[in-house]
Amino acid sequence: MSGSQRIAGLLCLGLLGAQLAGVARGAEVPQPVTLFETGLATLDVGRRQVPLGYSVSAFGPVFTMHSVVVQLGGELKLGPLYQAHELIVGDTKYVFGPGSAAVTVGSEIYPLSQAPIPAEGGLKVPLDLFETIYGETMGYDFQWDHAARTLKVQRQPQRQVPVTIDIVHLQGVTTVVLQFPFQPRYRIHRAANIVEVELIGDRLNPELVKTLPTDPLVRDIKLGQQELRLILAQDAEAEDYVLQNPFRLVFDVYRKAPTVTAPTIDPTPPTRSSGVRTIVIDPGHGGSDTGAIGPSGTQEKDLTLTLARALRARLIERMPVRVVLTRNEDAELPLETRTALANQQKADLFISLHLNSVQSPSANGAETYFSSLEASDEYAAQAAETENLVAASGDDGDALYDLQLILWDLAQSQFLAQSQQLAKLVQEELNDTLGLNNRGVKQAPFRVLIGASMPAILVECGFLSNPKEEKELLDPAYRSQLINALVRAVMRYRAAAMGSDALADEALP
Ligand SMILES: [Zn+2]
């Protein structure tokens, strides 16, 4: 989001926050907006001119959403009045609604010039909502001519997008880095052993392509005007993530782990689609954000990465799942990016790994959290505050943070029961395996969990501030037990999600 947008967003926060809270509770109804003009305009999409309902408020014109969606595409799901509406374009979901001058895109939130207005014939929305949705994803440009009462839609002029490609193979992983001077509009398509990056509305200009070294995992990189294709080895798979400043689209290419071939009991188990296929593991902290530091100097960021890598390996070994890490190196990653990545990957579970730290050196044991705006107790509230700290030091103001919490809470609220169930299983397994002091399942507004559109938990695996637990956590045998406990919890959760009779063949570690 640009600086000016952010400022505009902040200015109307007081009102907006209050209205959103009302929407979330379903209690208050937004004040009716004064409209100076209402009528029929023309929507000009080049080939066709069709009627378009419009009104003008003090903040500018609004247009009937439905008419534009019919012409430009997308799947519009209208909620009841005063509740969230959804528009799905391609792979992206946009959520907006009356009373809130903001739109959520995945887990990102952008302010709007005014809130959508409920009207006969459906919701009327401001131009910048169309620009956010169709400008970013499809390269459309919108121009409102008030004198002619015409909304003109055109393709944006094509840009030449320079791209620098870098490829390096290290320790069984090939990393392909596509670097751009600005963030292009793109979509990623996957088919068999091909990963395609398609530019939307722009053209590629391959600036600097190093001669492709012979690589065991990436056979070739093919460049077209509109797309770039990675041709992978037959048994390879690629995970993508984004790095900023400059914008880089990164692919880590691994050799596929041998999938566990379970004896087929029923060739088409009906519940299989609701199972757990993709798990995103988030090693807490990273880069200059070290997290907690133990008495002998162990840094939380290092230990969470070690645990996450081991958990990934063990999960893949034990069940046919795809496991993605939010970071696989010592890198700083904003909390929103972690959740955004999980949303992008369409993860079925999100597990954020952390280690606790408190003043008292004797505090010990594991805790598992799931998200909630309300902390379950004073202690849980403090834990969330500590883990949220990195976010608060970012460039977002506190007010914007509160607004995001409210909107993002809507995303996570539909998964609360499942998150709680997973948290309970993790806590049980940790207590049983490690004989740890049972600190229980707790709720708190952890920022890293709130934007997740899937069941999500945060595990404090132990107290780094406790000298004895620090020593244990540094012991590979102890960590192995800890990982096994987490794997068992995920397996039990997965079994429950897939139906009780499934997975009898998968032996618990
Ligand atoms: Zn932490």
Ligand 1 centre to CA of 430 (Å) is 18
Residue ranges of the alpha helices (H) in 26-91?
A: 65-72
CATH number for position 248: 2.60.40.3500
**In the predicted model, what is the mean pLDDT of residues 276-282?**
92
CATH number for position 17: 3.30.457.10
The angle subtended at Cα 137 by Cα 135 and Cα 140, nearest 5°, is 30
Among 255, 289, 322, residue at a domain's last position: 255
pLDDT in tens, 37-71: 999 999 998 888 999 999 999 999 999 998 999 88
- Kindly tell me if the per-residue pLDDT of 220 is higher than 70: yes
Ligand 1 centre to CA of 284 (Å) is 5
For 111-115, 217-221, 334-338, which range has the lowest pLDDT when averaged over its residues? 334-338
Q: Provide, for the chain, the percentages of residues in helix, strand and coil under a 3-state DSSP scheme, each rounded to the nearest 5.
A: 30, 35, 35
Inside any domain, residue 505:
no
Question: Kind of pairing, strands 322-325 and 247-255?
Answer: unpaired
Ligand 1 centre to CA of 282 (Å) is 11
Ligand 1 centre to CA of 247 (Å) is 27
**In the predicted model, what is the mean pLDDT of residues 309-316?**
92
Residues 224 and 94 both lie in one domain: no
How many percent of the chain have pLDDT more than 90? 28
Ligand 1 centre to CA of 352 (Å) is 9
Ligand 1 centre to CA of 292 (Å) is 6
Residues 241 and 285 both lie in one domain: no
Ligand 1 centre to CA of 102 (Å) is 30
Full residue range of the structural domain in which residue 444 is found: 272-498
**In the predicted model, what is the mean pLDDT of residues 156-160?**
77
Residues 426 and 279 both lie in one domain: yes
CATH number for position 296: 3.40.630.40
- Kindly tell me if the per-residue pLDDT of 81 is higher than 80: no
- Kindly tell me if the per-residue pLDDT of 4 is higher than 80: no
In sequence order, what DSSP letters do the residues of 240-287 get, joined into one string?
A: EEEETTTEEEEEEEEEPPPP--PPPSSSS-TTGGGS--EEEEEE--BT
Ligand 1 centre to CA of 355 (Å) is 5
Measured CA to CA in angstroms, residue 427 lies from 145, 229, 279, 468 at distances of 60, 43, 18, 20
Ligand 1 centre to CA of 98 (Å) is 37
What crossing angle do the helices spanning 398-413 and 3-11 adopt, rounded to 10°? 90
Residues 348 and 464 both lie in one domain: yes
CB 358 within 8 A of CB 367: no
Query: How confident is the model at residue 377, as a pLDDT?
Result: 74
Ligand 1 centre to CA of 172 (Å) is 29
Higher pLDDT, residue 297 or 192: 297
Inside any domain, residue 509:
no
- What is the maximum span of the chain, computed from C-alpha positions, in angstroms? 75
pLDDT in tens, 434-474: 777 677 787 766 666 766 788 889 999 999 999 999 999 99
Inside any domain, residue 503:
no
Residues 210 and 300 both lie in one domain: no
Ligand 1 centre to CA of 348 (Å) is 22
Inside any domain, residue 90:
yes
Among 155, 189, 208, residue at a domain's last position: 155
**Token output for 306:** 């070690």
CB 126 within 8 A of CB 116: yes
Ligand 1 centre to CA of 356 (Å) is 7
Ligand 1 centre to CA of 210 (Å) is 39
Query: How confident is the model at residue 8, as a pLDDT?
Result: 32
Residues 211 and 278 both lie in one domain: no
Inside any domain, residue 172:
yes
Ligand 1 centre to CA of 335 (Å) is 11
Number of structural domains found in the chain: 3
Residues 423 and 297 both lie in one domain: yes
**Token output for 43:** 């929507």
pLDDT in tens, 384-421: 777 776 543 333 334 444 444 444 555 666 788 888 89
Query: How confident is the model at residue 108, as a pLDDT?
Result: 65
Residues 51 and 16 both lie in one domain: yes
Ligand 1 centre to CA of 58 (Å) is 46
CB 83 within 8 A of CB 24: no
Residues 383 and 479 both lie in one domain: yes
Ligand 1 centre to CA of 450 (Å) is 16
Ligand 1 centre to CA of 405 (Å) is 19
**In the predicted model, what is the mean pLDDT of residues 282-311?**
93
Among 155, 174, 203, residue at a domain's last position: 155
Residues 207 and 287 both lie in one domain: no
Instruction: Give the chain's mean pLDDT.
Output: 77
- Compute the distance between CA of residue 147 and CA of residue 365 in angstroms, rounded to an integer: 69
Inside any domain, residue 48:
yes
**Token output for 12:** 């109307």
Residues 118 and 214 both lie in one domain: no
CB 25 within 8 A of CB 414: no
What crossing angle do the helices spanning 398-413 and 378-392 adopt, rounded to 10°? 120
Inside any domain, residue 261:
no
Residue 372, classified by CB atoms within 10 Å of its CB into exposed (0-12), middle (13-18) or buried (19+), is: buried
Residues 185 and 145 both lie in one domain: no
Inside any domain, residue 264:
no
**In the predicted model, what is the mean pLDDT of residues 324-331?**
88
- Tell me the residue length of the chain: 509
pLDDT in tens, 339-391: 778 877 888 999 999 998 888 888 888 888 887 666 667 777 777 777 776 54
